[in-house]
Amino acid sequence: MLLEVGVRNIEAQQLYRRGGYQACEPFPPYTATPISLFMRRQLTQR
């Protein structure tokens, strides 16, 4: 699962980290920008 969040949105970043997301490189169609943080989480099958 991939997401993009604004660097000023600290509350959302904390929520995502608690949910298992980790920072990652930008993914298409995005490019690196100083106002965005990119995160990913590995999904597993049950």
At 13-43, the pLDDT tens digits run: 999 999 999 999 999 999 999 999 999 999 9
Model confidence at 45, pLDDT cuts 50, 70, 90, reads confident
Please give the model's pTM, rounded to 2 decimal places. 0.87
Alpha-carbon distance of 30 to 33, in angstroms, equals 9
Q: Round to the nearest angstrom and report the end-to-end CA distance of the chain.
A: 16
Task: Report the alpha-carbon distance of residue 42 to residue 22 in Å, rounded.
Answer: 9
- The answer to whether the beta carbons of residues 39 and 3 sit under 8 Å apart is yes
